[in-house]
Chain A
Amino acid sequence: MLLVIYGNSDKKLVGKLESVKAALLIQSWYRCYKARLELRRRQALSIFESIEYADEQDQLQLAKFFTFMLENYTQKKEENSVYQSIASIENQRLDTKTVLRMVEVPDSYEGPRLMFPLTYSDVLLLIKAFKENQILHARYVLEVLVEAKKVLKQLPNITHIMSIETKELTICGDIHGKLDDLFLIFYKNGLPSGNNRYVFNGDFVDRGKNSMEVLMVLFALFLVFPNDVYLNRGNHEDFLMNLRYGFTKEITSKYKKHSAKILHYLEEVYTWLPIGTLIDKKVLVVHGGIADDTDLEILNKLKRNKMRSVLMPPSTPSEIELRNIQFPYNFQTSSMSLDQMPKDDWDQIINILWSDPRKKKGCSPNTTRGGGCYFGPDITNHILNKFALKMIIRSHECKPEGFEICHDGKVITLFSASNYYEEGSNRGAYLKLKKDLIPRFFQYQCSQMVKSKTLHESVNIVESTAFRILGEKLIARNSELMQVFKMYDVNKTGKITFYEWGKAVGQVLEMDLPWLSLCPRLAQRTEDGYVYYKMGFKKLTAINAPKQVKSGMFQTLVRYRRDLKIIFNVIDKDKSGLISLEEFRDIWKLFCSHYGIKIDEAHVDQLANAMDLNHDGSIDFNEFLTAFDVVHRLGGEPKP
């Protein structure tokens, strides 16, 4: 916009026009700057989502490995210490009285002391203590779990809420251990009570650092107001998910020698959580979603407590037979393999806990997560009609605004953990329902920071974390990436274009991300706009990995370290964090065989010796595997 005034112009007018022009210039520039930041923020979020779902897909492979492990582990059972440890877990029947007697509260304990049966003042005591960062003693944790299980056991699979006219109802989505968000909700909306009913729709734990505190507050409230607090099971109320996503680690670090008991009991309490809530027979509240064959009648009748973990699907009859020949024990239930949940029932629950709504019609397997379905608007209509429902409220997916409405208003996604991926990544929300069953939404965003961040700083934080976790994938697949890069570098100059780099990385990682835009930030550029692919990735490094570990094995460990942690944790019967060298060697070989990783004996021995840091024949696997966490140099501390 060029405006030129000639000759005897009014100076004031010229001045005015000039300042308009200047203002416009600044405004356009600023909007451009803002837009570039917004793009970077959204691309960082898409990295988080992409990796989260890829992780969940890995679970499926892990489940298959457990089956493979049992079928191929053919040492004689008496000599087989792994078998022994697996067998002993289940033989250890948890007698409540015995357990509680085993855990004493010392006089020196300064944390909150609870009196059972719990009352409102106990809840207030707990909340106050948690605000002061105190840890509830293991004895009380166990008692809360024991009491909660007693009450949960009485509930039907799908709980019913009626007479909503008289009491307002608040529904919350995923909390994921973010105690601050839970407290913020209570601050804005009041604590649960007879006049203030709440439904918590699953995923109370994992990822956030206060999963135990969140769980304790929710269970305590549930015990005090059993008719006004409704807790639904989410896909993270699953002891094997907790191994991968942080809750188990939180428990072992907070409760040390008592953690084994807590973990065992927790496993069982999860299975007694109801899997859904029906409000006024019209609104269905479940954690994930539905599938085309979702059947409320089946869901009402099945034995929900037999669903232990998404990683333990029921075997087919022939698999059961095979297992019974080799070992009379199997992973799955406390009694015999015949006492499993029927496959159809199991599928029904998986769909409820894991599915996601999509625009596309029909029902297809949820390949991103490896479990549950994608369900379209036609499926929603079909199920709503079939069971005379008005709406489905679900959670399970993080949304930038804390909630999202889709399928023509019939499906609502509600997510209550703000800043889920990183500080500044998203808002949280809860909703309230009155008699008219029309939802009203309330949003919030918790902030740890005292000073509010500028847009640029907040985008930097989100991006930095996203790049770090993306960097793990890149480092783990380094050799394959180099191979593909070399293919593009026909003339062996050591350089390729951004476009080629993007194609190569997308191909190897099999992740649909904006690689071309990410390239300048991840790869080493030349001055003339190419990539020096041999120089690796910017600012990414895996710290402290032992030198004895050869490069191929290094990459395998970076890539699979989470899976390995889970596997070793399952073997570690007394939850000491240690397994024997022999156990490690056996499992490692099986693992590589199943995952198709080539190894040679010498390397395995080398690795085993590298892990036996104290040379006493046992391995602290957690510590060892943590060394393979990848750090983004600008990001500072490695995060789990």
Chain B
Amino acid sequence: MAEEKDNGDAGLLELQKKIKEAFEVFDHESNDTVDVREIGTIIRSLGCCPSEGELHDLIAEVEEEEPTGYIRLETFLPMMVKVLKERRYRPVPEDVLLQAFEVLDTAKGGFLTKEDLVRYMTEEGEPFTQEEMEEMLSAALDPDTNTIQYRDYLAMMVIDEN
């Protein structure tokens, strides 16, 4: 049975392999380094949900003393293993996400207008770039009403992911 194996070791190997595979996708020169600007994508693609601020802290942990613009696998790997094992920056559950939309929906009508969503996303918190805003709208906006029916949107996103 697979269970009889030393779960600790097998689990760690699998974790490390998973991290390496995500890292390798961005390692364009195949020399175990990635551009620091891609680290955020790598960390998030592994299922973590840090804010931009938290991301900066993580990057600071793995950057060289003299920042070269590159992050090396050998420093990244142990840090990432720790982050995943400690289950830091877990994504929020769907219902909490729904509540977040509801907070923004001051009129409590079950939807957000396009203007409101754009305002919140590009002016509050850690603002979206124009590209991020357009991408979110392309899936979230109901073109007939020019609103975001956030319940439906979230439900669709959940299905998409699976």
Contact = CB atoms under 8 A, between A and B. Distances in A.
A binds B: yes
Interface of A: 1, 18-36, 38-39, 42-43, 46, 359, 452, 454-456, 491, 493, 495-499, 502, 514-517, 530
Contacts of A39: 22, 25, 41-42, 45
Contacts of A35: 40-45
B10 interface: yes
Contacts of B139: 454-456
Given A456-B139, A516-B14, A22 B49 contact: no
A42 B103 CA distance: 35
A497 B44 contact: no
B107 interface: no
Contacts of B135: 34, 454-455
Interface of B: 1-2, 4, 10, 13-14, 17-18, 21-22, 24-26, 29-31, 40-45, 47-53, 91-92, 96-97, 99-101, 103-104, 120-121, 124-128, 132, 135-136, 138-139, 157, 160-161
Given A29-B49, A43-B25, A23 B31 contact: no
Question: Which DSSP category, helix, strand, loop or mixed, fits chain A's interface?
Answer: helix
B59 to A, nearest CB: 14
A424 B34 CA distance: 24
B124 A359 contact: no
B10 A499 contact: yes
B104 A23 contact: yes
A496 B50 CA distance: 32
B22 A517 contact: yes
A359 B27 CA distance: 12
Contacts of A456: 139, 160
A42 B44 contact: no
Given A42-B26, A454-B139, A499-B13, A36 B45 contact: yes
A103 to B, nearest CB: 50
Chain A to chain B: the 3 pairs with minimum beta-carbon distance, closest first: A35-B44, A514-B21, A24-B125
Contacts, number: 133
A35 B126 CA distance: 16
A497 B125 contact: no
A32 B49 contact: yes
A19 B138 contact: no
18 contacts: A19-B103, A23-B100, A25-B97, A27-B121, A27-B126, A27-B128, A28-B50, A28-B51, A30-B132, A31-B44, A32-B48, A35-B42, A35-B45, A39-B42, A42-B25, A454-B139, A455-B138, A514-B24
Contacts of A499: 10, 13-14, 17
A38 B41 contact: yes
A20 B124 contact: yes
Most buried by A among B31, B45, B126: B45
Most buried by B among A27, A454, A456: A27
Given A1-B51, A19-B124, 8 more contacts: A19-B120, A21-B100, A24-B51, A27-B126, A28-B126, A31-B132, A32-B48, A516-B21
A452 B161 contact: no
B124 A23 contact: yes
Contacts of B52: 28, 31
A42 B26 CA distance: 8
A19 B157 CA distance: 22
Contacts of A31: 40, 44, 52, 132
A369 to B, nearest CB: 16
Contact of A22 (B91, B101, B126): B101
Contacts of B17: 499, 502, 516
A80 to B, nearest CB: 49
Most buried by A among B17, B50, B125: B125
A36 B44 contact: yes
A530 B3 CA distance: 11
A452 B45 contact: no
Given A19-B103, A26-B101, A495 B2 contact: yes
A29 B41 contact: no
Contacts of B30: 359
Contacts of A23: 100, 104, 120-121, 124-125
Contact of B136 (A30, A42, A46, A359): A30
Contacts of B44: 31-32, 34-36
B147 to A, nearest CB: 16
A1 B124 CA distance: 14
B2 A22 contact: no
Contact of B14 (A1, A455, A497): A497
A22 B25 contact: no
Contact of A33 (B25, B103, B157): B157
A24 B126 contact: yes
Given A19-B120, A26-B121, A28-B51, A497 B100 contact: no
A517 B121 contact: no
A19 B96 CA distance: 13
A25 B125 CA distance: 8
A18 B103 contact: yes
A36 B92 CA distance: 15
A387 B124 CA distance: 58
Contacts of A495: 2
Given A26-B100, A454-B138, A493-B2, A33 B124 contact: no
B1 A491 contact: yes
B2 A46 contact: no
A359 B160 CA distance: 38
Contacts of B29: 359
Contacts of A34: 44, 132, 135
Nearest to A25: B100
Given A22-B100, A32-B49, A359-B31, A452 B138 contact: yes
A573 B138 CA distance: 54
Nearest to A18: B103
Contacts of B136: 30
A18 B125 CA distance: 10
Contacts of B43: 35
Nearest to B13: A499
A168 B6 CA distance: 67
A43 B22 CA distance: 9
Contacts of A36: 44-45, 47, 161
A496 B2 CA distance: 7
Nearest to B30: A359
A22 B104 contact: yes
Nearest to A488: B2
Nearest to B94: A29
A152 B73 CA distance: 51
B104 A516 contact: no
Nearest to B127: A27
A30 B1 CA distance: 39
A301 to B, nearest CB: 37
Contacts of A25: 92, 96-97, 100
Nearest to B138: A454
A27 B13 contact: no
